[in-house]
């Protein structure tokens, strides 16, 4: 029986390898891996998780909308990165120090940095005011609030997993009216941020409306591999996933850009839901064998999983746009 199981695993891996020769990302065949049925109370949806390796476990931190459509964060653990068990308890809302209530917590990004786990997340009050909060934890049971690390009107932010030139670094996208600005900023202490540098991409049709950072960047020998999302406006907004490569020492400089999206809404669970035609990623887990697990929100309703190879994503970013090759 053991030999049969091992042979089946080999065939599944071989099938995945053959598929990856055709596409950069392959969806898990049993998607979605989490939906409202997996939440142990009345809820509207579960989606857009942060992701990290936590010891020998895989850990997701998904956004859960309860029956009031208030947003909270839950911990979900897995032994294999596919089958997750969701904690029934959400991360507690932590009182703010400026008198503004925190009613919604969503779209977390998790960065393992200097021996601790840091969580950037969208914090929203009873109105539409939203900014980025920062939490620190060692065990995903006790959470310390670092504070707010952006002014209002910022919904995309991730910390780099190490300092650059002695400074903490984050990628973010502040909003000013209808304008969006993706940039890198620096801090000596994770609280005071400045020295902002704009990131400039070659605009592509698939993100002609706007683009923003997904999960924390992954360090490679070729640069910081950054998963992004992009929005195209046709008859409605369509959210897709792409990838770029940032300079290791000057991360505001783009050294590679895949001109095409790497994941687009195709499946029913990605096209139908709270937000139609939407795939949105803010959690990835790179593996020691060079593969990557990409966790994404599907139609703002459930969580999907896709597999890829880091080298393939890097090579896609090295596309020569001037010479079209």
Q: How far is it, in rounded angstroms, from Cα 26 to Cα 33? A: 14
Predicted local confidence at residue 127, as pLDDT: 81
Render 8-31 in DSSP notation, one character per residue. HHHHHHHHHHHHHTT-SEEE-TT-
On whether residue 15 sits in a domain, the answer given is yes
On whether residue 323 sits in a domain, the answer given is no
Mean pLDDT per 10-residue segment, the chain (325 residues): 51 52 88 97 97 98 96 98 97 76 93 98 88 96 93 94 98 91 98 97 96 98 98 94 98 97 98 97 97 98 98 90 50
On whether residue 325 sits in a domain, the answer given is no
- Cis bond leading into 32, ω under 30°? yes
Structural domains counted in the chain: 1
On whether residue 196 sits in a domain, the answer given is yes
Predicted local confidence at residue 4, as pLDDT: 54
Contacts of 266 (CB under 8 A, 6+ apart): none
On whether residue 111 sits in a domain, the answer given is yes
Residue 231: its H or E element: strand 223-233
What are the phi and psi torsion angles at 146 (to 5°)?
Answer: -80, -40
CATH number, domain at 291?
2.115.10.20
- How far is residue 297 from each of residues 52, 258, 264, 304, measured CA to CA in Å? 16, 21, 12, 6
Q: How far is it, in rounded angstroms, from Cα 311 to Cα 309? A: 6
Structural domain of 256: 2-317
Cβ proximity of 82 and 60 under 8 Å: no
On whether residue 285 sits in a domain, the answer given is yes
On whether residue 322 sits in a domain, the answer given is no
On whether residue 286 sits in a domain, the answer given is yes
Model's pTM, two decimal places?
0.92
Predicted local confidence at residue 20, as pLDDT: 53
Burial (CB < 10 A; 0-12, 13-18, 19+), residue 71, is buried
Predicted local confidence at residue 7, as pLDDT: 45
Burial (CB < 10 A; 0-12, 13-18, 19+), residue 258, is buried
């Amino acid at each position: 029986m053991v030999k049969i199981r091992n042979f089946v695993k080999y065939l599944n891996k071989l099938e995945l390898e053959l598929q990856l020769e055709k596409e950069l990302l392959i969806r898990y065949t049993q998607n979605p891996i989490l939906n409202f049925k997996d939440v142990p109370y009345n809820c509207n949806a579960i989606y857009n998780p942060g992701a990290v390796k936590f010891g020998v476990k895989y850990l997701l931190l998904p956004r859960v909308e309860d029956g009031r459509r208030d947003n909270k964060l839950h911990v979900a653990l897995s032994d294999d990165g596919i089958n997750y068990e969701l904690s029934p308890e959400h991360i507690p809302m932590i009182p703010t120090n400026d008198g503004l209530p925190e009613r919604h917590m969503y779209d977390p990004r998790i960065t393992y940095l200097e021996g601790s786990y840091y969580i950037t997340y969208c914090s929203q009050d009873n109105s539409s005011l939203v900014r980025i909060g920062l939490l620190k934890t060692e065990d995903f049971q006790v959470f310390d609030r670092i504070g707010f690390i952006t002014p209002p009107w910022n919904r995309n932010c991730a910390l780099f997993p190490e300092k650059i030139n002695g400074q903490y670094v984050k990628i973010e996208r502040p909003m000013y009216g209808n304008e969006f600005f993706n940039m890198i900023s620096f801090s000596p202490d994770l609280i005071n941020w400045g020295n902002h540098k704009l990131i400039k991409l070659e605009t592509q049709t698939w993100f002609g409306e706007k683009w923003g950072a997904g999960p924390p960047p992954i360090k490679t020998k070729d640069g910081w591999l950054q998963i992004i999302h992009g929005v195209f406006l046709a008859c409605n907004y369509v959210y897709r996933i792409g990838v770029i490569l940032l300079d290791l020492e000057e991360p505001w400089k783009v050294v590679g850009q895949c001109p095409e999206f790497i994941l687009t809404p195709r499946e029913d669970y990605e096209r139908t839901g709270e937000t139609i035609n939407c795939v949105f990623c803010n959690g990835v887990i790179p593996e020691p064998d060079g593969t990557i697990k990409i966790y994404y929100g599907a139609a703002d309703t459930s969580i999907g999983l896709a597999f890829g190879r880091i080298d393939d994503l890097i090579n896609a970013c090295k596309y020569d746009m001037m010479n079209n090759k």
